[in-house]
């Protein structure tokens, strides 16, 4: 009996078909896992970049609570003086004529659940598009006369779609009277509260809306930070 030295064409086609099916099933999982790891790592770096710039400004200008331009209408002056000089800037603009954050191509951050309309009255956003860092853009603004400086940190700038909170963009907050660093919104809540409630607004789940001018998804950066800069299996990706 002669030994068989080659596969038949049918056997080769069957083998290739099986490989294709396995690849089709596993490749999306691999890609998604990579995106999650990349997002968490980029968020960690962007957090460090933002606060590194802030610390340099503190070194130059002293205690934050004594800085100029505390009025919401002066947000652009504040960011232009204390933030912009410490980053490589491609372009920056006071978007006083367009409060949808898109006056220089930075899309409005979409809340979890698909809504992107802002709550309440907020100051004209000041947008900084950066170069060479993990953060692709910063959008600084204030709500009403609350003291907090808020900043949307963009890790991605989608050209054909809205930026999604918890994936492309994350919210950080600075209270000049209490803090000397930007912190992820919601970092003082527990992880379970951020993911499941009860929380009035800004949790990392789509039902977390409310009257406090924070939207669903605003607390997602805090969840990632609490998880050691990782995206866990129960994160609402």
The domains of the chain are located at 25-176
- Ramachandran bin of 60, using left for φ above 0, alpha for ψ from -120 to 50, beta for the remaining angles: alpha
For the ranges 13-27, 165-179, 191-205, the lowest mean pLDDT is seen at 13-27
pLDDT tens for 81-129 read 999 999 999 999 988 766 566 678 888 888 887 665 555 557 788 999 9
Instruction: Look at residues 47, 170, 37 and name the one whose alpha carbon lies nearest to residue 112.
Output: 170
Residue 161 has what pLDDT?
72
Task: For the chain, give the percent of residues with pLDDT over 70.
Answer: 85
pLDDT tens for 187-219 read 999 999 999 988 888 999 988 876 667 889 999
Residue 121 has what pLDDT?
52
Residue 155 has what pLDDT?
97
The model's pTM: 0.85
Residue 237 Cα to chain centre, angstroms:
13
Residue 186 has what pLDDT?
94
pLDDT tens for 49-88 read 999 999 999 999 999 999 999 998 899 999 999 999 999 9
220 against 94, higher pLDDT: 220
> 3-class DSSP state for residue 58?
helix
Q: For residue 169, what are the contacts with CB-CB under 8 A and spacing of at least 6? A: 109, 152, 153, 154, 155, 156, 163
Residue 185 Cα to chain centre, angstroms:
11
pLDDT tens for 135-150 read 999 999 988 778 899 9
Residue 107 has what pLDDT?
85
């Amino acid at each position: 009996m002669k030994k068989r030295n080659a596969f038949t064409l049918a056997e080769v086609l069957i083998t290739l078909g099986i490989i294709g099916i396995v690849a089709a099933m596993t490749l999306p999982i691999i890609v998604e896992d990579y995106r999650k790891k990349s997002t968490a790592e980029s968020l960690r770096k962007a957090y460090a970049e933002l606060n590194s710039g802030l610390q340099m400004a503190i070194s130059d200008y002293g205690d934050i609570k004594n800085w100029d331009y505390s009025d919401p209408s002066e947000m652009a002056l504040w960011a232009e003086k204390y933030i912009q000089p410490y980053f490589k800037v491609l372009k920056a603009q006071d978007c006083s004529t367009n409060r949808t954050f898109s006056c220089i191509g930075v899309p409005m951050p979409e809340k979890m659940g698909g809504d992107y309309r802002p709550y309440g009255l907020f100051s004209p956003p000041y947008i900084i598009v950066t170069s060479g860092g993990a953060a692709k853009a910063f959008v600084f603004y204030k709500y009403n006369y609350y003291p907090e400086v808020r900043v949307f940190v963009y890790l991605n700038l989608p050209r054909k779609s809205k930026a999604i909170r918890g994936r492309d963009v994350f919210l950080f907050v600075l209270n000049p009277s209490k803090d000397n660093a930007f912190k992820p919104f919601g970092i003082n809540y527990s992880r379970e509260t951020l993911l499941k409630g009860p929380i009035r607004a800004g949790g990392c789940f789509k039902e977390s809306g409310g009257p406090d001018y924070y939207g669903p998804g605003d607390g997602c950066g805090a969840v990632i930070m609490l998880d050691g800069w990782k995206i866990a299996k129960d994160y609402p990706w």
